[in-house]
Amino acid sequence: MISDLHRPSLIFVSSQVQLSHFHLILSVSSSVLKIQILVSTNISSLIRLMNM
């Protein structure tokens, strides 16, 4: 009886944890993408400067 009562809440908690992990991964990957874009644009501008 007790285990049946606890099961839904456990499922809910685990789904919440997975959601938070997903959000964390999303934010980290988006920030990494922004950094990569920044670095690539900086490198291209540097190359342009050196070519001048």
Q: What is the pLDDT of residue 36?
A: 94
Q: Over the chain (52 residues), what is each successive 10-residue block's mean pLDDT?
A: 66 84 92 94 91 82
Q: What is the pLDDT of residue 16?
A: 86
3-state secondary structure the chain: CHHHHHHHHHHHHHHHHHHHHHHHHHHHHHHHHHHHHHHHHHHHHHHHHHHC
Q: What is the pLDDT of residue 3?
A: 60
The alpha carbon of 48 is separated from its chain's Cα centroid by a whole number of angstroms, namely 32
Domain boundaries, the chain: 20-51
- The pTM of this model reads 0.52
